[in-house]
Amino acid sequence: MEIFRELSIGGVEKDILIQRLIDAGVQFNKYAPILFENPLFSPSSKIQKVELVKLKFADLNLDNVCSYQEIVNQASMLGLKLYFLFFDTGSVALGQVI
């Protein structure tokens, strides 16, 4: 597995996170305020380091036809967790907490 990016996640309060997103030029759709105001949206105060890895579908040793849950289960067996991080390529990432 190739580690292609390391991230730190968490460690900031909601209002600071929102301000950082605004400062970074992130544009919000009309649903963003609803998400941010939801009591379930609570950024973690604990900072976690995450390594994002690149792998091919074949690296998961699954059949060509499989369910989403089978992908998640196999990734978990490899010590990976699926993170929904969208990049300019439209892809999601698998990562491992370090």
pLDDT of 8-17, one tens digit each? 888 999 999 9
pLDDT of 11-65, one tens digit each? 999 999 999 999 999 999 999 999 899 988 888 889 988 888 877 878 888 877 8
Give the full edge-to-edge strand order of the sheet including 48-54: 2-9, 48-54, 93-97, 81-83
Taking the chain, what is the end-to-end CA distance rounded to the nearest angstrom? Answer: 15
Kind and range of the H or E run holding 81: strand 81-83
